[in-house]
Amino acid sequence: MKEIFAFIRKEFKHIFRDRRTTLIVLIMPIVQIVLFGFAISTDVHNAVVDIVGDASDPAVQRIIQRIDSNEYLEVGNIYASPAAIDDRLRKGKISAAVCFEQNFDSNLAAGSTAVVRIIADGADPNTAQTVTSYIKGVIQSEQAEITTAMTGGGSVSMRPNVQLMYNPAMNSAYNFVPGVMGLVLMLICSMMTAVSIVREKEQGTLELVLVSPVKPFWIILSKIVPYMVLSIVNFVTTLLLAHFVMGVPVNGSLALLSLVSLVFVGSSLGLGLLVSVISATQQTAMLICGMGLTMPTMMLSGLIFPCESMPMWLQVFSDIIPAKWFIIMVKKIMIQGAGFTSIVKEFCVLLGMMVALLWFSIKKFKTRL
């Protein structure tokens, strides 16, 4: 046992004596969480909406009031003509403009149609989509009220009342945080483990260790343990950041979340070992981890693009990415507050992946020695 501790201590020294490694291991997760959480936010907060139309028109006034009282929208200037709108949009002063035709109220009252136009900045489709749908919602609710008033209470129109469960504000941190946690844990476990083993191959120190009486299994274990410890540290820091800075809730059981993460860390370590077996130089290991693990994880795990909107063959491919299952489970546990029964399938898949990866890579690792 003493041999193992000597080894593990040495591994930590490698990590903390190399500034680059320390930086990657301890700072990168924080930077990523903050970047994804704040900078790459798709949230719409207080989108400014200009109004074009007759401000004395009663129907227009009612809608302006509704927009103003919407918590995500804010009324900017009110213009009589749309001439200024283009300039306001270009300068980024507003996210959208709502234009009412002349005599809006009387047109409505006459029972004919009144025209309202929403202009939004299509250069940023995500924001435009969100803002226009908020505005549409406001106008629809006004319309429903008018209809009710005019038909004397007997409203017959059907109006969908959309309620977003778990993430009512459509806070993008809810989506990104589980994804970034997956990404960070995978990077630390796979890339750092692979690189640290391949570095020893390059240095020739691995050979020296192998001719020692220490069993190969212990050598592998001593390589894995430090990165596992660091992953736990990272898991805790990202979770703390997510909860206290981004306001992402932890609705489910913390123990379950930790268990799921541990299984994911295990499968990532397996991947890292596998990479270390097939690569001869640190550059190769980095490249394989970057292109072969990180890219697919970012693109296909549902972190950026939803898996459901991928073509069928890509969906099948995304199924073999451990991070996908991890992210699904983290979302369920953290945000929906789901218990173990609702993640049994995903958990079994990930557990299976971990066992298979670890078994295969340890076997491979031993035969390569």
Partner 1 sequence: MEEKSVVIRNLVKKFGNFTAVDNISFEVSKGEIFGFLGANGAGKTTAMRILCGLSRPTSGEGTVAGFRIKDQQESIKRHIGYMSQKFSLYPDLKVWENIELFGGIYGLNDRQIAAKTDSMLKALSMENARDMYIRDMPLGWKQKLAFSIAMVHDPEIVFLDEPTGGVDPVTRRNFWEMIYEAAGRDVTVFVTTHYMDEAEYCDRVSVMVDGRIEALGSPAELKETYGAKDMDGVFTKIAGRAERGE
For binding to partner 1 (CB under 8 A), which residues are involved? 2-3, 5-7, 10, 13-14, 17-18, 203-205, 207-215, 369
Supply the minimum distance, in Å, between the C-beta of residue 265 and partner 1.
25
For residues 314-324, one letter each, b for 16 or more C-beta atoms within 10 angstroms of the residue's C-beta and e for the rest, the string is eeeebeebbbb
Q: For the chain, count helices (H), then strands (E).
A: 17, 4
Supply the minimum distance, in Å, between the C-beta of residue 22 and partner 1.
12
Q: With respect to partner 1, which residue has the nearer C-beta, 4 or 351? A: 4
Q: With respect to partner 1, which residue has the nearer C-beta, 18 or 43? A: 18
Contact 157, 144 (CB under 8 A): yes
- Number of Cβ within 10 Å of residue 36's Cβ equals 21
Supply the minimum distance, in Å, between the C-beta of residue 225 and partner 1.
15
Q: With respect to partner 1, which residue has the nearer C-beta, 201 or 332? A: 201
Supply the minimum distance, in Å, between the C-beta of residue 215 and partner 1.
8
The span from the CA of 136 to the CA of 152, in Å, is 24
Supply the minimum distance, in Å, between the C-beta of residue 262 and partner 1.
28
Supply the minimum distance, in Å, between the C-beta of residue 126 and partner 1.
46
Looking up tokens 């589980």 gives 178
Q: With respect to partner 1, which residue has the nearer C-beta, 150 or 369? A: 369
Distances (CA, A) of 2 to 7, 8, 205, 221, 229: 9, 10, 19, 13, 19
Tokens of 267: 């499968």
Q: Is 48 exposed, middle or buried (0-12, 13-18, 19+ CB in 10 A)?
A: middle
The span from the CA of 289 to the CA of 276, in Å, is 10
Q: With respect to partner 1, which residue has the nearer C-beta, 264 or 365? A: 365
Q: With respect to partner 1, which residue has the nearer C-beta, 10 or 345? A: 10
